[in-house]
Every structure is written in C-alpha cells, then in structure tokens.
Amino acid sequence: MVLVETMFFLLFQHLVLTSGNAVIGHHHHRHHSLLTDKAALLEFKKAIVYDPQSTLANWNEATRVCNFTGVSCNKKRHRVSELLLQDYELVGRLSPIISNLTGLRNLSLVGNHFYGTIPSEIALLRRLHHLLLDRNSFHGSISDSLALPSQLTIVSLLQNNLTGDIPPTFFSNCTMLKVLDLSNNFLSGKIPIEIGNCPNLWSLNLYNNQFTGELPLFLTNNSLANLDVEYNHLSGELPIKFVQKLPNIVYLHLSNNNMISHDGNTNLNPFFTALTNCTSLEELELAGMGLGGVLPSSIGSLGINFSNLLLQENQIFGSIPPNIGNLSKLVVLNLTSNLLNGTISANISQLSNLEQLFLSHNLFASAIPLALGQMTHLGLLDLSHNTFSGDIPSSIGNLVRLNYLFLNNNLLSGSIPPTLGHCTELYKLDLSYNRLTGGIPRELSGLSEIRIFINLSHNQLEGPIPIELSKLEDVQEIDLSSNNLSGSIFPQISSCIALTLINFSHNSLEGKLPDSIGELKNLESFDVSGNHLSGRIPLSLNKSRTLTYLNLSFNNFEGRIPSGGIFESVSYSSFLGNQHLCGPVAVKPACPQKNHLFRSRIFLIIFTLVIFISTSLSIICCVIAFRHIKALISAQRTETARKPAQPELVHNFPRVTYRDLSDATSGFDDQRLLGMSSYGRVYRGVLPDGTTIAVKVLHLQSGNSTKSFTRECQVLRRIRHRNLIRIITACSLPDFKAIVLPYMANGSLDSRLYPHSQTGLSSGSSDLSLIQRLNICSDIAEGMAYLHHHSPVRVIHCDLKPSNVLLNDDMTALVSDFGIARLLIAGGANSALENMGNSTANLLCGSIGYIAPEYGFGSNASTKGDVYSFGILVLEMVTRKRPTDDMFVGGLSLHKWVKNHYHGRVEKVVDSSLMRASRDQPPEVKKMWDVAIGELIELGILCTQESSSTRPTMLDAADDLDRLKRYLCGDTTATFASSLGISSSTLEDD
C-alpha cells in the first residue's frame, strides 16, 4: 500500500507540475513530502551498482527516511535537508531523481566512485546551499543547462574527470556563491567572464586543468581572498590590472603557467609594485614559469602578514634586495633554480620567523653570511649547487631547530665547525663536494637525532673516523667517501642500527673489517673500496638478508671469500685489486690445496672409525630420538600456530617519520596529489636533496585501509622484479600509515591512455604507439607471471587495471597497488590462500569492470582471476575503451563487443589513433602491425573467457607477447595465440 500510494503521488505531482499548477495544499504537502523524498532516495539507491551492505543497509521501506544513513531532516519543513555520504565507496551514477529532494540544503558525495555526467537537474534544487562532489569519477562536460542554484554558497567538483569549457550559464544565478573549486579536472577553454556575476566569491580554485588565454578582468568585487590557477596554460603578462582589483587577496597562486613578466619578460617591478596595494596578501606562488628580471625592491613592501614566497624555477637574476628583510613574518622563501648572484645581505637575518630558505641551483659566489646564524626559526637551509666559498660559519650552530642543512656542491673550504653538533634536531646533513679540510669533529656525535643521512663525501677531510659517530643510532646513510681519512673502522659502528648505506670508499683506511658489520640488520649497501684494509672478509656479512650491494675492491684482503648470502650474487668486480683473495666467485682462483693425498688418507681412517661408532650408537638412540623429535615437532607446530603470521611489517624498512613525509609533500597539499585508490591518496613528494618520491597515505576511517596497508607491506617486502613496483619505506603510526614508493615520471598507464594536461594531448587521443602498448602489455605479463609462478611467495594481485600500472622514465611498466592481494601457500595443485586472519577476507576482489565473473558467484581469488583482469586490460589497450564505458549496458561487455566485431569489422573497435598510424606505414610494415593488433585482440579474448579453466596462464601470455615482439622485430617464424593451445575458432560463446 505504501508503494502504491507513493507511485500515485509521484504521478499526481508530475501532472500538476506539467500543467503549470505548482500550488499544493499545505496539509497535502505535509502529508506526502517525506514520502516523496523517501521514494526519490530509494530510486537514487537503485542507480548505485556497488553498495557495501553496511552503508545503505537501512535504506528500505521499513525504515523512516529521516533514519536513513547519511540523511538528515528539517523537522519544521518535514523534508530531507541533508544527504551526506562521504567516503562510502559507492559506485554508480548520480540519478536525476535527486532533483525531487526540493528541500535539500546540503548534498555531499565526496570520496566515492560516482561516474557519468553530473545531471543538470541539480539546478532544480533551489534551496541547496552546499554541493560537494569531490573525488569521484564524473566525466564529460558541464551541461549548458546546469545553472548554479541561487542559494548555493559552496560548490566543489574537485578531482573528477570533467572536460570541455565551463558554460557561461553555469554562473547565471551565483549571487550567493562564496567558494568554487573545479581543480584537478581536465577543463579547457578560457575562464568565462561570467564568473564576475558572483559578487560574494571568496575562494576560486581552478588549478590543474587545461585553461588557456589570459587571466580575465572578470572579478569586480573586493571579496576574493583566494585564487589558485596553478598548472594550467594561462598566458600573457603577469596580471597587474587584475590584482589591482583584488585589494583583499590573501592567497595568490599562479605557478606553472605560461605567463611572462613585463617588457618582454625582463621586468618584474610593475607586478610587485601592484601587489603592494594588496595589504592582506600572505602567499604568492609564481614558480615554474621562466619569469625574467631582477627581484625589485618593492618586494619589501608586501603585506605585513606576508608569509610564503615561491619563485623557484624561473630566470630571475641579480641579487636579493636587502629590504626583503622587511618581511618580518615570512616563513618560506624559495628561490631555487634561478640565476641569482652577488652577495646575500646581512639584512636577511631580519626574517626572524623564516623556517625554510631555498637558494640552491643559483650563481652565488660569495661567502655564506654570518647573519644566517641569527635566524633561529630555520628548519631548512639549502644553499647547495652554487659557488659559495670561504668557511662554513660557526654561527650556523645557533640554528637549534634546523632539520635539513644542504651546503653541498659549492667551493667551501676550512674545517667543519664543531658547533654543528649543537643542531640536535638535524635529520639530513650534506656537506659533500666541497674543499673542506681537517678532521671530522667529534662534536658531531651531538647530532643524535639525525634520521636520514650524513654526507661528507668528496672533500679533503683527514684523520680517523671518530668513534663518537657510533652514537648516531637513527642515521640511515653515512657517506664519507673520497676523502683522506685514515685509521680503522671501529667495531661500535654496529650501534648505528638503522644504517642502510655505508660508503667509506676512496680513503686511506686500514686494518681489519670488524665482524660487527654483519650485525647491521638493515644494511643494503656497503662500499669500502679503494682503501688499505686487510685481513679476512668477515663471515658475518653473509648473514645479512638486506645487503644487495657490496664493494670491497682495491684493498689488501686475503683468504677465502665467504659463501652464502650476498656472496652468492656478487660478481668478481666486488673484489678487484685484492691479490690474496680466493674462492668461488667467477674469475677468482680457487684456494690452493696442500698435502692433498695425506689429508685424504687421514680423512678416510677417521671417516671409517666414525661410521663404525655411529652405527652402533644409532640403533640404541633411534627410537628414543624419533619419539623425542616427534614430540618437539608437535610442540613447535602448536607454538607456531599461536604466533602472528608475520613480524612487524616495517621492521626492515628505512625509518621515516610523519614529519619527513609532511615536509616532502608540503603538508600533503592537494596540489601534490597524483591520484587516489579505494584506500588512500598518493602524493608527489620532493625530498630536500631533490629526490622525487610517491607517498601513498591510507585512509584510516575504514578498517579495510589498515588491512590494505598490512597486506601491501607484506607483499612488497617479499617480491622483487623489474616489472613490479618496489617499496622504499613505510611509516606506521596508530593514526597514520603511509607507503613510500619511487616516483614514476610518466604516471600511470591510465593517464597515458586517457591523457590530460601534463601530456598536452586532448582527451580524445593517446600518444602511445603500437610498439609501446605491446611492450607495456609484455611488461605487465612478465610481472604477473613472476607473481603467479616464480615469486618466493605466490601472489594473486586481485586489482589489476591501468591505474595500477605505472610507467618509469623509459616507459617500462611496473605493476603496483597490492592493497588487496592474496598470498598462496605452495602446494602444487592443492595450493591454498594463505591464512592471514581477516586481513583480506572481506575485500572486493578487484575493481568494477575488471572483476572475473566467477568472483560474482562467491569463488575464491585465483590466478585465473588475474588473467581475466589482464585480458580486459589488453582489450582496453587496443580499443581505448574503459570496461565501464556508458555503451556497455544491457549485458554488453568489452569482451563481447570486441568479440562481435573481431572478424571483418576490427576497425570499429581498434583505437582510431592506432588505425591511423597503421595506415601511414609502408605496406610490409602495415601488414605486420595489422597482425600484431589482431594477435593482441586474440590474446585479450582468450584471457577473458567466461570459464576460468579455459583461460591461459600468465606464463603463456608472457611467452606469447614475447614472440609477438620478436615478430615485429623481424622474426617471421614466431607464432602467437596458437601457442596457448586455444585458437579463435574454438573460443567459447558467451
């Protein structure tokens, strides 16, 4: 009865509205408004294709609508007023039925996986104040009919896949709008002047899009406080007239656009003079634009609250104006990678609140000013890669809050000031590539908090390595190479338990290597080449499970090279120049055998006697021993069952703190965001030494995120392959968990298939050639074959898709994101999923579109499920169609669509850019390309068959792709899909 009544009311409402009569009796409205809202929400739920039952379980006819999860009601108006479903991992479309919630004030669907276009019916929500659709997968353009409701104050569509221009109609009713965020999309065209219709706009974020043209004079109000248009293609001169109209601007971020300074990119003064009228300005970011000119003296007249100035990666020349000291509240000054020279004025010490000073990669040739020692708030000082000369000022020891000190790659001379030992909070110290002399001060032992590295290499230091350095228990890397150091290596070095790298090469060290070296549980690289070390190589080195690089060459070591551990993988190059070494390493001579015959006879006599005695005793002891061993094994199994399956996950990783990662990512700034997965966000981080990393931060609101972190660490610490991502380190705290990975400059496969602003391509094409796509497929297959068949512990990835495939500098593909992977216990045909408690028991085996069909019927994860995901990925590479494309409805899938067109109409499914490239080739090459495209389609269809038993293995797929690569290189004898034992003619019908 309730359903019939609801349907009747909806029909009645429709008839009334279409007839133009919008008047409904007050009593009737009160009686039916919540029923209408309830019906709309239930229809909204039907458009969600994946809904964890724990999320919307109580959205049903039996529950009052005001008790629905995420729903709040206005009791006076008897209407639903709020729909707040943040980070619930909902997958589906945003149904236009949402427009029936006419009393809605706040709509937030942040952090889900809604896709499709944003329905223009949202414009009918006249009472809507907040519209938050951040971090979803909405795509397509913003509809011309999507005008902002007049009551809206906050609109955020951050981090979606929106494309095209912003229609002028979007701003037709924005008189109340205060915050607009369209960042991290693929929007293009010019920024519409109609945004000037929003007189109360306070914050405008458009960063990381593809906007072009000049920044228009569209804002005539005085309320704008935040403007961020970084990472676009905006051009023209720095906007003087624009900033003159923004007297209340607080945050102005224009970095990484194509703007220039005045007078042909030679004059910064007009712009900075205009900024002096912006008395509330706190942050100015003009980085990465190639701006030319000198820093004008007007820079010292910026607002009294000015705190952040980022001008790195430009062409600014001349000296730093002395009156920059007027900016008494400046916190960050970044002038890295410019053409600055001259001296640094002592007035810089007036920046008493400065915390970060970046002056690296410039042309400074003076002495380091003593006045820097007065800036007691400094946490980072980077003067590297200049030509600073003279001594290191002892006043730097006054910087007791200093975490990072980089003076490397200069012409500094004199001794290292002992006062540096007062910088007790130092994490990184780099004085390398200078002309420093004297000894290493013992006072550096005061740097007991140093966490990451100390680098004094490539200087002229002399004397012994002070034993006091053994107090640096948390340091991860010590590099003292290429100096004149003498004496021996002290055994107490084993106290530096966090060490991953030791480089003492190219010095004059002598004596024996201490056996304690093998006690360093985290040591990965050990280099003492080019010294005068002698004696035997410590046997303890073969016990290290982490050591991957060893260089003992050009010393005076003697005796047999140990076996086992690292010595099984190193080559002869690790022992060059040691004349008295012998052993099993290739090219080294075997150790001499003296009195071989005599020793053989003695051995034979002893051996016979031992056999006689042991035979007599063994009969007596056999039964007793057997029973005892059996009891011990039983007890051991019981004890093992009680113990956790794995030790602490991050035990063998280099230590990293939350602060380290926060500094590297600018406080986990959204501008550093590379992407996001179901369980976390990935940021681009830059270490103070310039190394770029990727930091995956887990969302801890979901219990599954912690399990994902645990599982990913478990997998990454066990595997190593050129086509699998490697883990650098991890940070695990009760309220924060992150994994640090190498940064991949070419992004993900998904970003290259569906390119955005960073590639400069339109969203309608990809620059990946056929050869590149084939190589990427082959790389993925090799990595997956290793996981399934060759890894020390067999791994089922469970979430193979283009966004989880990363591309390094040379376009080699690396499989990543093992957050829901399963581990297999070896057992031949009876292999089983490893019992890891509940760590992955409730996790979905993949992403929508890539999940093997048998998983939908409750089947356990299997390697054949990964094969299915790989097949979908191959088909996607060829067709450039996502398996979740709008066209795949009514039972049609990517697999079926490709299969239906495979014979005779292949051009209808192959990516048009591949077809164009094929047509442009010479006839003989075109024929080979057509064969290659056909074979890739064949492989994709084979891997995505309905029945898992008919799919090939990843070894088969990797072998087939290798043959296909050889064919394109001229090996016409290569065979392909037939090698899998299945041909296209026998493919099952779906």
In the DSSP assignment, the letter for residue 167 is P
CB of 889 closer than 8 Å to CB of 883:
no
Quick check: is 515 catalytic?
A: no
Which one-letter amino acid corresponds to residue 695? V
Between CA 7 and CA 36 the distance in angstroms is 9
Concatenating the DSSP letter of every residue in 485-538 gives EES---GGGGG-TT--EEE--SS--EEEPPGGGGG-TT--EEE--SSEEEEPPP
Which one-letter amino acid corresponds to residue 704? N
Place of tokens 């990662």: 661
Burial category of 208 from C-beta neighbours within 10 Å (exposed 0-12, middle 13-18, buried 19 and up): buried
Between CA 159 and CA 137 the distance in angstroms is 8
Between CA 103 and CA 73 the distance in angstroms is 9
Distances in Å between the Cα of 573 and the Cα atoms of 258, 517, 551 are 49, 21, 8
CB of 725 closer than 8 Å to CB of 742:
yes
The catalytic residue among 527, 660, 799, 956 is: 799
Backbone angles phi, psi at 208, to 5 degrees: 55, 60
CB atoms within 10 A of CB 924: 8
- Alpha helices in 47-79, H assignment, sequence order: 53-56
Between CA 404 and CA 428 the distance in angstroms is 5
Neighbour-count burial for 825-860, b at 16+ CB within 10 Å, e otherwise: eeeeeeeeebebeebbeebbbbbbbbbbbbbeeeee
CB of 50 closer than 8 Å to CB of 91:
yes
Residue 596 contacts by C-beta under 8 Å, 6 or more apart in sequence?
A: none
- Angle at CA of residue 573, ends 570 and 576, nearest 5°: 125
Distances in Å between the Cα of 469 and the Cα atoms of 231, 423, 442, 533 are 45, 15, 8, 20
Between CA 91 and CA 50 the distance in angstroms is 5
- Residues with catalytic function: 799
